[in-house]
């Protein structure tokens, strides 16, 4: 039982991170940004479906890559290459979010915050979880 739980710990953790990050992006799309709003009394706020879906899809690329690597056992066959590819993806996402964040709508700010946490998770938490002690 314990081995089965340990086997699925990282995919469950990735699913939880993806779900929390996706909900953060979707709910941030509901906020009205004072910079982008027109202060007319007739102005009706429309939920930005296209922008939220676009930022959600960019955020999901990392998790799709992780899921494919777990399904195809790529992470067990080539652990170093797996870590490098995932690190390059999350670093690229971080730079895209950082370079496009000036005067961005709130959902893009949520994407930036999610990507910062994902970047820190990839570089600090994931290696500690994947580290296997070698018996001498």
Please give the full DSSP string across 17-40, using - where no structure is assigned: HHHHHHHHHHHHTTSPPTTT----
| DSSP string for 57-82 | HHHHHHHHHHHHHHHTTHHHH-HHHH
Domain boundaries, the chain: 2-130
Predicted local confidence at residue 86, as pLDDT: 92
Predicted local confidence at residue 128, as pLDDT: 85
Question: What are the pLDDT digits (tens) for 33-87?
Answer: 665 556 666 666 678 889 899 999 999 999 999 999 989 988 889 988 999 999 9
Taking each helix axis from N to C end, the angle separating 49-71 and 9-28, rounded to the nearest 10 degrees, works out to: 170
Predicted local confidence at residue 130, as pLDDT: 75
Decide which of 32 and 8 is more confident: 8
Give the separation between CA 74 and CA 117, rounded to whole angstroms: 24
Give the separation between CA 48 and CA 130, rounded to whole angstroms: 38
Is the model's pLDDT at 136 over the cut of 60?
Answer: no
Confidence tier at 121 by pLDDT (50, 70, 90)? very high
Predicted local confidence at residue 79, as pLDDT: 86
* Residue 45 contacts residue 33 (beta carbons within 8 Å): no
Decide which of 131 and 90 is more confident: 90
Predicted local confidence at residue 17, as pLDDT: 93
Question: What are the pLDDT digits (tens) for 9-33?
Answer: 888 889 999 999 999 999 998 877 6
């Amino acid at each position: 039982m314990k081995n089965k739980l340990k086997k699925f710990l990282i995919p469950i953790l990735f699913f939880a991170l993806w779900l929390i990050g996706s909900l953060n992006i979707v709910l941030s799309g509901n906020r009205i940004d004072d910079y982008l709003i027109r202060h007319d009394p007739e102005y009706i706020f429309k939920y930005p479906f296209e922008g939220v879906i676009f930022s959600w899809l960019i955020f999901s690329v990392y998790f799709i890559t992780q899921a494919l690597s777990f399904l195809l056992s790529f992470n067990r066959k080539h652990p170093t290459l797996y870590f490098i590819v995932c690190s390059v993806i999350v670093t690229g996402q971080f730079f895209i979010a950082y370079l496009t964040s000036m005067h961005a709508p709130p959902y893009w700010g949520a994407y930036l915050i999610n990507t910062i946490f994902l970047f820190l998770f990839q570089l600090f938490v994931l290696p500690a979880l994947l580290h296997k002690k070698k018996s001498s």
